[in-house]
Amino acid sequence: MLHTLFNPKSVAIIGASAKELSIGNVITKNLLKYNFKGPIYPINPKAPEVRGVKAYPSITDVPGDIDLAHISIPAKFSPQAVDECGKKGVKFIIINSAGYKEVGPEGEAIEKEVVRIAHSYGMRIFGPNCQGIINSDPDVRAYCDFTFTYPDPGHISIVAQSGGVGAVIMQNIHDLGVGMRHYASNGNAADISIPEIIKYYGEDEKTKVIILYVEGFADPHEFMEAAKEVAAKKPILAMRAGRTEEGAKAATSHTGGLAGAGISTELIFYKTGILTFRDEAEMCQSAVAFANQPVPSGNRVGMITDTGGPAIIATDELIDGGLKIPPLTDKAKEYLADRLYPEATISNPIDVLATANARHYRSALDALLNEDQIDSIYINFVTPPFVDCEAVAKEMAEVSKMRQKTLVCNYMTDKPQWTGTTAIMKDGNVPCYDFPEMAAKALIAMTRYNELRSREIGSVITFDDVDKSKAKGVINSAIKQKREILLADEVYEILACYGIPVAEWEIAGSPEEAASAAMTIGYPVVLKADSEQIIHKSDVGGVKVNLKDSGEVLAAAIEMDEKFGKSGLRYFVQKFMPGGKEIIIGANKEPGLGHLIMFGLGGIFVELLKDVAFDITPITEFEANHMIESIKTYPLIEGFRGEKGADKAKLTEILQRVSQLVTDLPEIGEMDLNPIMAFENEVFVVDARIKI
Ligand code: ADP
Ligand code: MG
């Protein structure tokens, strides 16, 4: 679909000024400088030429066909320009100028108008308010952009909503001496969307890795669908945006406050299999490894070093990153004993010694290639002046080209002196890093991608013992009565419809009724004030636990009556269930996305440590388990130091049932089960709140 945009046979620039410091002029310059393979047509009613290229007064005066036209004239003139492009038979338009949606309603109206005109001619709009695209393919060399980095051909494709971030990434990759395939920064994205670009990159054979920068999603579902499909085929690397918001938002114990834009972006990335980074430099450096090496099929690393310290640093980093450095087999040890220096260390890491020659390195590489329990190879290579380093590099390059196992190298040298060695490493596609941490991080990123790609998320279970229509009835009647917060009996009714276990309860209208309800339930009980006005019951003395007889129930009820009597108070009597682990499960609606679901341990764990996990509904059993296992306090759920744990299988099931509940009942804005009392073999919800 976007093929012609990235592979235009001819390009026109509407608004190509003769002034050097203007966008249209710079685009003309870039096309020339990057050696664009087709004709360039500057459009300018006054100048006969721009940068030495013949200009035309109007696009309709151009003799040949035009695949792609830039528009860099003021927004108010663009509808007419787009219309002329349509008449000329242009296929794609990049609108570089600003002055559209980003400036307000007037600009937004022009933006809608140009898209409408374009579509009426079957044209597509890229932008407006954007940089454009670059295709480094030697047969195309389309620099339809006003930036200043001239990348060599390569396998990394970049798509960035923000041109600023995109340009920094492109420059950094260029500085690393690595090529780029495509670049796209589409600004306001009025027509061609980021998901479309991701899909195009997904189909582009020469794109081996995609770098993505987005801050939000116009259509989260469109994005998720495209990203999921592409991430299964090739790595998509992205920055985690807005993580400070996550910390800020996590300050409150209610899901409504816990979730934020930053969290949902990260969840969307995780759910679709996009690899996220906290650091742009690390993302770019990792992209270099992805572009040059096969993805490892596991997390076990074999290490080769010719110097001690960097191996220690790398080991720490790799282990921190969840990788394993398994011992060598006897077979490998025997193989190496015959081939390395007697003083060499034959274990993992293999220390070949600083005096190691090409044959020693090759033996170490071969030994690791032949080890079944090794998935990837990490090398520390400092270039000793008393060794034929080019010969060593040739062995690494040869092994790299075999593409049997992932290779990364912490290459420590003075590059201007060791130019020959450096060139051999580069031609051999050996990703080289100045520091052991960076080489390790790149390998960790590749291993993480393999884990993301190979996880079996499974499909969403639909529980068929639920009564959806009854639950809908409860919600609808509250909506009819214009109530936002459901009453306790309504909430518990809905939970019952979805098979979510709750502590036994009764609603009473008077203290006496409360006492008799307590009798039915059996002592001890808890008495709670039920009123639309009271949200945090215990904060205002609306919860009395461990009431052991009717006298205590009556006294507590009368006390509440005195406190809250005016506000239509009812008494919620519930079985007292002490001694369990307090768990929180919540759901919160995110515009355009559906509900986020949250899991955490209650009390100080959520309030102080913000130790919670999120996902996007609907969730599968795998995802529910992953949520539970990913909180830091998970060992407490498993049972820690003799303390009893919680019924994880039941919690997994409740998470899935809540997921189904909020998916079935989209009217629900917020839902909190706080707390759920979890025991070793059973769990009960003891407090629940639903807001519509
Ligand atoms: P709120 O959250 O509105 O303050 P809750 O119903 O959650 O009120 O009660 C406050 C706390 O009291 C709970 O977090 C829990 O520690 C305790 N609690 C409430 N109900 C029970 C119960 N049935 N069994 C044991 N403890 C309970
Ligand atoms: Mg509560």
Q: State the pLDDT at residue 567.
A: 64
Q: What is the Cα–Cα distance from 135 to 67, expressed in whole angstroms?
A: 14
Task: Encode pLDDT of 567-622 as tens digits.
Answer: 678 999 999 999 999 999 999 988 778 899 999 988 777 767 778 899 999 999 99
Which residue out of 254, 495, 504, 538 has the highest number of ligand 1 atoms within 8 Å of its CB and is therefore the one to mutate? 538
Distance, C-alpha 362 to centroid of its chain = 39
Q: State the pLDDT at residue 260.
A: 47
What residues form DSSP beta bridges with 408?
378
Quote the ligand 1 centre to 530 CA distance (angstroms): 13
Q: Is residue 488 part of a domain?
A: no
pLDDT over 50 at 250, yes or no = no
Asked whether 375 and 327 are in contact (CB, 8 A), the reply is: no
* pLDDT confidence band for 243 (50 / 70 / 90): low
* pLDDT confidence band for 545 (50 / 70 / 90): very high
pLDDT over 50 at 343, yes or no = yes
The mean pLDDT of 460-479, rounded to a whole number, is 97
Do 362 and 386 belong together in one domain? yes
Question: What are the residues whose beta carbons fall under 8 Å from the beta carbon of 482, sequence distance 6 or more?
Answer: none
Q: What is the Cα–Cα distance from 287 to 449, expressed in whole angstroms?
A: 12
pLDDT over 90 at 160, yes or no = yes
Do 2 and 89 belong together in one domain? yes
Asked whether 374 and 406 are in contact (CB, 8 A), the reply is: no
Structure tokens at 153: 């051909």
Q: Residue 546: give its domain's CATH number.
A: 3.30.1490.20
Quote the ligand 1 centre to 687 CA distance (angstroms): 6
Q: How many domains, in total, are found in the chain?
A: 5
Do 211 and 302 belong together in one domain? no
Structure tokens at 618: 């609907």
Q: State the pLDDT at residue 266.
A: 83
Task: Encode pLDDT of 628-658 as tens digits.
Answer: 999 999 999 998 888 889 999 999 999 999 9
Domain boundary, last residue among 258, 292, 326: 292
Question: What are the residues whose beta carbons fall under 8 Å from the beta carbon of 76, sequence distance 6 or more?
Answer: 99, 110
Which residue out of 521, 543, 547, 691 has the highest number of ligand 1 atoms within 8 Å of its CB and is therefore the one to mutate? 543
Atom of ligand 1 nearest to the CA of 687: 6
Q: What is the Cα–Cα distance from 537 to 345, expressed in whole angstroms?
A: 66
For residue 296, cis peptide bond before it (omega within 30 degrees of 0): no
Name the residue with the closest Cα to ligand 1, atom 14.
Answer: 675
Strand, coil or helix: what is 257? helix
Do 634 and 585 belong together in one domain? yes
Q: How distant, in Å, are the alpha carbons of 143, 272, 274, 665 from that of 450?
A: 33, 13, 11, 36
pLDDT over 50 at 131, yes or no = yes
Average pLDDT, the chain: 93
What residues form DSSP beta bridges with 70?
13, 94
Q: In sequence order, what DSSP letters do the residues of 43-85 get, joined into one string?
A: E-SS-SEETTEE-BSSGGG-SS--SEEEE-S-GGGHHHHHHHH
Do 602 and 542 belong together in one domain? no
* pLDDT confidence band for 247 (50 / 70 / 90): very low
pLDDT over 90 at 685, yes or no = yes
Q: What is the Cα–Cα distance from 235 to 241, expressed in whole angstroms?
A: 18
Q: State the pLDDT at residue 531.
A: 85
Strand, coil or helix: what is 386? coil
Q: Is residue 347 part of a domain?
A: yes
What residues form DSSP beta bridges with 594?
590
Name the residue with the closest Cα to ligand 1, atom 6.
Answer: 687
Asked whether 431 and 289 are in contact (CB, 8 A), the reply is: yes
Task: Encode pLDDT of 192-213 as tens digits.
Answer: 999 999 999 999 999 999 999 9
pLDDT over 70 at 258, yes or no = no
Domain boundary, last residue among 146, 172, 195: 146
Q: State the pLDDT at residue 241.
A: 64
Q: Is residue 249 part of a domain?
A: yes
Do 5 and 134 belong together in one domain? yes
Strand, coil or helix: what is 507? strand
Do 324 and 436 belong together in one domain? yes
Do 319 and 440 belong together in one domain? yes
Question: What are the residues whose beta carbons fall under 8 Å from the beta carbon of 393, sequence distance 6 or more?
Answer: 421, 424, 425, 428, 430
Q: State the CB neighbour count (10 A cutoff) for residue 591.
A: 8
Domain boundary, last residue among 96, 126, 146: 146
Asked whether 402 and 374 are in contact (CB, 8 A), the reply is: no
Q: State the pLDDT at residue 267.
A: 86
Q: Is residue 255 part of a domain?
A: yes
Q: Residue 272: give its domain's CATH number.
A: 3.40.50.261
Atom of ligand 1 nearest to the CA of 684: 23
pLDDT over 90 at 394, yes or no = yes
Q: What burial letters (b/e) apply to 256-283, b meaning 16+ CB within 10 Å?
A: bebbbbbbbbbbbbbbbbbbbbeeeebb
Q: Is residue 305 part of a domain?
A: yes
Q: Residue 654: give its domain's CATH number.
A: 3.30.470.20
Do 300 and 449 belong together in one domain? yes
The mean pLDDT of 506-519, rounded to a whole number, is 95
Do 286 and 348 belong together in one domain? no
- Rounded to the nearest 10°, the torsion over CA 315, 319, 321, 325 is 80
Name the residue with the closest Cα to ligand 1, atom 17.
Answer: 545
Do 24 and 128 belong together in one domain? yes
For the sheet containing 124-126, what is the strand order? Answer: 40-43, 11-14, 68-71, 92-95, 124-126
**What are the pocket residues of ligand 1 if the criterion is a CB atom closer than 6 Å to any ligand atom?**
503, 526, 528, 536-538, 543, 545, 574-578, 582, 674-675, 677, 686-687
* pLDDT confidence band for 334 (50 / 70 / 90): very high
Q: What is the Cα–Cα distance from 486 to 288, expressed in whole angstroms?
A: 54
Structure tokens at 243: 């993580």
**Nearest one of 608, 609, 613 to 584, comparing CA atoms:** 613
Q: Is residue 469 part of a domain?
A: no
Instruction: Give the amino acid at 65.
Output: D
Q: State the pLDDT at residue 255.
A: 40
Considering only 69-73, 323-327, 534-538, 556-560, which range has the smallest mean pLDDT? 534-538
Q: Residue 603: nearest ligand to its CA?
A: 1
Q: State the pLDDT at residue 527.
A: 97
pLDDT over 60 at 251, yes or no = no
Q: State the pLDDT at residue 322.
A: 96
Quote the ligand 2 centre to 543 CA distance (angstroms): 10
Task: Encode pLDDT of 480-502 as tens digits.
Answer: 999 999 999 999 999 999 999 99
Distance, C-alpha 153 to centroid of its chain = 27
Do 301 and 280 belong together in one domain? no
* pLDDT confidence band for 254 (50 / 70 / 90): very low
Q: State the pLDDT at residue 592.
A: 79
Task: Encode pLDDT of 265-284 as tens digits.
Answer: 888 999 999 999 989 999 99
Q: Is residue 480 part of a domain?
A: no
Q: Residue 73: give its domain's CATH number.
A: 3.40.50.720
**Nearest one of 650, 647, 639 to 680, comparing CA atoms:** 647
Q: What is the pTM of this model?
A: 0.88
Q: How distant, in Å, are the alpha carbons of 210, 660, 676 from that of 258?
A: 31, 21, 18
User: What burial class does residue 22 get, using C-beta atoms within 10 Å of its C-beta: 0-12 exposed, 13-18 middle, 19+ buried?
Assistant: middle
Q: What is the Cα–Cα distance from 27 to 4, expressed in whole angstroms?
A: 18
333: containing domain: 295-453
pLDDT over 70 at 9, yes or no = yes
Q: Is residue 493 part of a domain?
A: no
